[in-house]
Structure formats: C-alpha cells, structure tokens
Amino acid sequence: TKKTIAVLPGDGIGPEVTTAAINVLETIADKYDHHFTFQQGWIGGSAIDEKGDPLPRETKEMSAESDGILLGAVGGPKWDRLPGAERPEKGLLEIRKSLDLYANLRPVKAYASLIESSPLKEAIVANVDFLIVRELTGGLYFGEPKKREDIRGETQAIDTLLYKASEIKRIAERAFQAAQLRNGKVVSVDKANVLESSRLWRETVDDVHASYPDVELEHMLVDNAAMQLIAQPAAFDVMVTENTFGDILSDEASMLTGSLGLLPSASLGSTGVGLYEPVHGSAPDIAGENRANPLAAISSAAMMVKYGFKMEKEAEKIETAVEKVLADGYRTADIAPKMEEAVTTTEMTDAVIKALE
Ligand code: NAI
Ligand code: MG
C-alpha cells in the first residue's frame, strides 16, 4: 500500500524524535511491502523563523493532501515573548482546526518492565492500559458567547458550554470503534446531574451505543471518574468525554505511567487525515543532545499505522518492539535508574528497529 506522510518536526527535540519515528516507519514499510513517502514541512517556532508564519500555507496544503501527519512538538523559550496570535502554538491550533480534528485519542499504558528498574517506579501503576477519547473542537473552549461585560458597575465573564448532538454522536462513534479494537468497554464521563449539555451527551451516547451491542457501556460522573482514575485505573479500557473534562482527566491519567517520554496521541477528524504526535513538548532543556526518549514519537507512528492506515498487524509489531526494548533494559535518560546507564535517542531507535527485524 502507498501512503504519503507529512512530517512536521517542529522545534526542540521534535526533529530528533520524528527522525526516529520515520526510521521505524521505513522499517515497517520494507517488512510489509508498503511504500511510505515522507514530505517535510515547517511548523511552530522554526516555521516563524523560516517563513514568518507558525503554519505556512505550504505546510497546511501538504498536510491536508497527505494520508497522515506526524508531528514532533512546537515552542520554546526563543519564541515565548511573541504575542499569542504569533506564537508557535498557534500553528498547532490552526492545523487541528483546519483539518477538523475533533477526536483526541490518548492511550495511557504503564509498561510492566519499567516498574522494577526505574526512578519512576513509585509513580507507575501496574496493569494500567486504557485509552482516553477526548472531544477536541467543541464545548467550553469554543462556545459563543465568550466575552466580558460590565453590568451595573461590575465586570462579569461568560464562557459557553455548547454541544450539538452531531458533535457528540461522532466522538461517541470513535470511542465505540476504538473499544472494538481493544477490550470492548467504554466509560462515558459527564456531569449529567447538573449540566444540560451532559444530559444531551448521555442520551446521545446511549443512542449511538445501540449500534455497538458488542461494546459494554457505563456512564460515570466526572468527579467520580477523577477519583476512579486514582483508585482503580486498571479497570478502564476506553474513556470518552467532552473537551474540558478530557483536558483535565488526560493530564491526570498521564501521570499513572511515570514518564511523558513514552506517551503518544492521535487527533482524528472528518477528513480522514489524522495528526499523530507525542504528548510531551519540545523539551528545550535537552534539545540537540541526542538524549530525548523517542518512544512517544515511535508509538505515535504506531497509532498512525493503526488508526490512520488500518494496518493493525504493523501497529502491533511496533508496539511489541517498544515493549521488548523496555523489557531488554534499554533506558533513555528520562527513565534510566543511573545516568551512566542511559542510552541515546539513536541507540534506543536502533534497538526498536532491531526488535522489528
Ligand atoms: P516538555 O514536555 O517539553 O518537557 C517537560 C520535561 O520533560 C522536561 O524536563 C523535558 O526534558 C522532559 N521531556 C519531555 N519529553 C521528553 C522526552 N521525549 N524524552 C526525555 N525527556 C523529555 O514540557 P515543557 O517544558 O512544559 O514545555 C517546553 C516547550 O514545549 C514549551 O514551549 C511548551 O509550550 C511546548 N509544548 C508543546 C507541546 C506540543 O507541541 N504539543 C505540548 C507541551 C508543551
Ligand atoms: Mg492540557
């Protein structure tokens, strides 16, 4: 199969970790007789420096025409003083919006082999392996009116929590479909006891569920969900929720696994072009030192292959290779018990490639 992949390395460690992911994808293409073409584009701070725009038109067009977008990270101290509308992050927000990437998928998985030998072992919770499906383009962050006004001498501020049934339906479908590829259990998180938007959320999720009788559905209030994530995180399979709740719960959940350097994400939309990126940022403190953990980016590439290209075998191959290198004791600096035992970004990547062969 032929696929064109837009690669947007961005800033900081972005170029190092996306290079690692490309190498892994090339190995997969060789092994399974696929043809992947990689097209590089500017985004973020480096795009501001090169093109005067955090999302140049060429990047946007090339990305829209691709079969999938692999992104590193954007931002860094160099651009921190720019006003909001000109910042590197604007590039990321704009590409999500222009491709209508409404479904943010974040797997939260604790690798068993890290529990024994890791400075993070206390933070890692055994058997955690679930997926958060967060609605990304609706709700409180986007609803109108969103403004300040002065009423009788006092300032007040308004944000609007608005969801259309169609927006809920499409994210619920994503969640049920994802559950079919996993363990067939969905927990839908809302606040239906007090919010009207949550009552519509719950009804709509129930309606969609009728078409997925093979998936088990449970509704959970968000305050309880925040508690259950700590109390029994291993019980979750797929969690689906609206934008604000998902923002908070996904950051909470990421800490169950110990390290940011391991966590991938996918943002999927209506156009069929998805965006795949590590959860971590541009890590300016270690950029250019060949020290970054490439596994989050490599796992993001696995998500591209799985959700974007529907190549489940190939995705599983990458996931197994990542598990194997960790089980074999390869540790980048962020997860190494002793600094002198840490491997470099390229050594970790080579180990994954070897595990693929
Ligand atoms: P960060 O995720 O870049 O770094 C936090 C800490 O984790 C740092 O100590 C870093 O060295 C470490 N770290 C992160 N990824 C790592 C990896 N793969 N391997 C080893 N260590 C890793 O978050 P921070 O420092 O808050 O933000 C730095 C810049 O990144 C900022 O400009 C921020 O706006 C941007 N950022 C971009 C995101 C994106 O592009 N999606 C997401 C989060 C932050
Ligand atoms: Mg957040």
Beta-bridge partner residues of 104: 134, 267
Q: Are 200 and 224 in contact (CB under 8 A)?
A: no
Ligand nearest to the CA of 252: 2
Which string of b and e fits 281-307 if b means at least 16 CB within 10 Å? bbbbebbeeebbbbbbbbbbbbbbbbb
Q: Are 28 and 357 in contact (CB under 8 A)?
A: no
The dihedral sign for the CA sequence 116, 121, 122, 124: negative
Please give the positions annotated as active site: 141, 191, 223, 247, 251
Would you list the DSSP string of 10-75?
ESTTHHHHHHHHHHHHHHHHHHHT-EEEEEE---THHHHHHHSSSS-HHHHHHHHHSSEEEEEE--
Point out the annotated binding site for NAD(+): 76-89, 281-293
pLDDT for 44: 97
> Ligand 1 in contact with 18 (CB < 6 A)?
no
The mean pLDDT of 72-80, rounded to a whole number, is 95
pLDDT for 254: 85
pTM of this structure: 0.92
pLDDT-derived band at 119 (thresholds 50, 70, 90) equals: low
Point out the annotated binding site for Mg(2+): 223, 247, 251
pLDDT single digits (tens) 13-40: 999 999 999 999 999 999 999 999 999 9
Measured at the alpha carbon of residue 11, what is the angle toward residues 53 and 19, in degrees to the nearest 5?
A: 120
The mean pLDDT of 287-299, rounded to a whole number, is 97
pLDDT-derived band at 121 (thresholds 50, 70, 90) equals: low
> Ligand 1 in contact with 75 (CB < 6 A)?
yes
pLDDT for 117: 61
Q: How far apart are CA 242 and CA 332, in angstroms?
A: 34
Encoded amino acid at 29, one letter = A
Give yes or no for residue 122 having a pLDDT over 70: no
Q: How far apart are CA 343 and CA 318, in angstroms?
A: 19
Beta-bridge partner residues of 185: 216
Q: How far apart are CA 353 and CA 187, in angstroms?
A: 35
Q: Are 284 and 278 in contact (CB under 8 A)?
A: no
Give yes or no for residue 318 having a pLDDT over 70: yes
Predicted complex ipTM exceeds 0.95:
yes
Specify the CATH class of 1-102+270-357 in words: alpha beta
Q: How far apart are CA 356 and CA 29, in angstroms?
A: 11
Common-topology check for domains 1-102+270-357 and 125-257: yes
Scan for tokens 């925040």, then name that residue.
Answer: 226
Give yes or no for residue 337 having a pLDDT over 70: yes
Question: Percent of the chain having pLDDT more than 90?
Answer: 83
> Ligand 1 in contact with 286 (CB < 6 A)?
yes
Instruction: Determine the distance separating the centroid of ligand 1 and the alpha carbon of 214, expressed in angstroms.
Output: 39
Q: How far apart are CA 170 and CA 333, in angstroms?
A: 40
pLDDT single digits (tens) 100-115: 999 999 999 988 888 7
125-257: CATH topology is: Isopropylmalate Dehydrogenase (3.40.718)
> Ligand 1 in contact with 14 (CB < 6 A)?
no
Higher pLDDT: 260 or 23? It is: 23
Would you list the DSSP string of 126-172?
TT-EEEEEEE-SSGGGTEEEEEEEEETTEEEEEEE----HHHHHHHH
What is the residue extent of each domain of the chain? Answer: 1-102+270-357, 125-257
| pLDDT mean across residues, the chain | 94
Mapped onto helix, strand or coil, the DSSP state of residue 345 is helix
